[in-house]
Amino acid sequence: MASQSAKQAAPKLRYLSAWFCPYAHRATIALEHHADLVSYEWVEALGWEQRNDKNNVTGTGKEWWYHWKADELTRSNPSGLVPTLIPLDEEGKPNEEKSVRTAASLPSDPYLAAKCRYWADKVNRECCSPYYGVLVRTDEEERMENFNKLVSGLKAFSREIEKNGDGKTFLGGDRLSNTDISLMPWAFRYYIFEHYRGEEYAIPYDEPELHAYKEWFDNVFSLESVKRTLPDKDRYLEHIGKYADSSARSKVANAVRRGVSAHEIEDDKDTY
Ligand SMILES: N[C@@H](CCC(=O)N[C@@H](CS)C(=O)NCC(=O)O)C(=O)O
C-alpha cells in the first residue's frame, strides 16, 4: 500500500481505492511516481461482504462474495468502480461532480505519447484481461488459452522494449510511462497462477523471448516509488482465491463468466 510520502502537502485529491485492485494499483503507482507533483488522501472504498445464501443458489456449499462500496464511491462514480479520483477545491472540499478515473503518465513527445497509448491498450487486452480468464473460466482448455494469450502478449512486449532503449522501462531510463504502469499491477500478481492453477501456469521467465521482460520486471519492481505501492503477497493470494473458486461476484468476474474480456465490462450486464 502507498506510503505517506505524497501527503506532506495539502491533499489535492481524494483517491477512492482498494488495496487489492490492480486497476487502482495503476493509479497508485502513477501517484507515487509523481509524488512531487500531486498529493492525495487514500480512501479505502471497496471491500468484500458475504451475503446470505439461504437457498443454496451457489451450489458450492459456500456463499458468494460481493463488493461493499463506500457511499462516497457510489455518489461520485455512477459505475461504482475504483480507482476514482475526486479533486478537492481550494478549501479542501471534495468536488464530486468532477471525479476522474485515471492518472496517466505520458511523454510530451507526441509520437512517443501515441506509442505509449497504443502499447498500454495492447498490454491491457493481451496481458491483463486474460489474467481473469485463467482464474474465472472453469473449462481447462479456456484457461490455458487465456494463459497462452497472456504469455504471447508478454513476448510481444519483451520484443518491443528490446528495441526502445536500455530496457529498464518501456522507453528506457527510470521514468515510468503509461505502458509500464498499465502492465505492472498484473505482472506483479502473476505469482498466484501457480498456486491456483498449477505449475504449467508459471510464467516461463527463463525462455529467451522473455529475457527482456524479466529485466524490465526486476528493474521496475526495484524502484522505491513502486516498492511502497505493493500489496502483501499472501494477503492478495487469499483475496484472489474468491475469483479462483468462482465465489466472487464483481463486475469483472461477471463479465468474464458471461464470456467477454475483463476490459469489456458493461454496467447494465455485469451488475450484481
Ligand atoms: N476498467 C476499469 C475497471 C476497474 C475495476 O473493475 N475495478 C474493480 C475493483 S478491481 C471495481 O471497482 N469493482 C467494483 C464492482 O465490481 O462493482 C478501470 O480500468 O478502472
* Domain range list for the chain: 5-98, 110-270
Q: Atom 9 in ligand 1: which residue has the minimum CA distance?
A: 21
Name the average pLDDT for the chain.
91
Nearest to 178 by CA among 243, 108, 237, 244: 108
Name which residue leads in pLDDT, 54 or 24: 24
Q: For the domain 5-98, what is the CATH code?
A: 3.40.30
3-state SS class at 191: coil
Question: Does pLDDT of 134 surpass 50?
Answer: yes
Q: Atom 2 in ligand 1: which residue has the minimum CA distance?
A: 23
- pLDDT score recorded for residue 5: 47
Nearest to 72 by CA among 9, 13, 6: 13
| Residue 100 confidence class, pLDDT cut points 50, 70, 90 | low
Burial class (CB in 10 A: 0-12, 13-18, 19+), 93: exposed
User: Which of 76, 81, 268 has most ligand 1 atoms within 8 Å of CB, for mutation?
Assistant: 81
**Rounded CA separation 214/158 (Å):** 8
**Rounded CA separation 185/26 (Å):** 6
Residue 29 corresponds to which cell in the numbers above? 503507482
CB atoms within 10 A of CB 82: 25
Name which residue leads in pLDDT, 248 or 98: 248
Question: Does pLDDT of 97 surpass 80?
Answer: no
* Ligand 1, CB within 6 Å, residue ranges: 18, 21, 23, 46, 67, 80-83, 101, 250-252
**Rounded CA separation 250/242 (Å):** 10
**Rounded CA separation 213/159 (Å):** 8
**Is CATH 3.30.413.10 the right assignment for the domain spanning 110-270?**
no
Residue 28 corresponds to which cell in the numbers above? 497508485
User: Which of 23, 260, 272 has most ligand 1 atoms within 8 Å of CB, for mutation?
Assistant: 23
User: Which of 44, 128, 239, 250 has most ligand 1 atoms within 8 Å of CB, for mutation?
Assistant: 250
Contacts of 140 (CB under 8 A, 6+ apart): none
Exposed e or buried b per residue across 19-38, where buried means at least 16 C-beta atoms within 10 angstroms of its C-beta: bbbbbbbbbbbbbbbebeeb
262 Cα–ligand 1 center, Å: 9
Rounded average pLDDT over 164-176: 92
- pLDDT score recorded for residue 98: 64
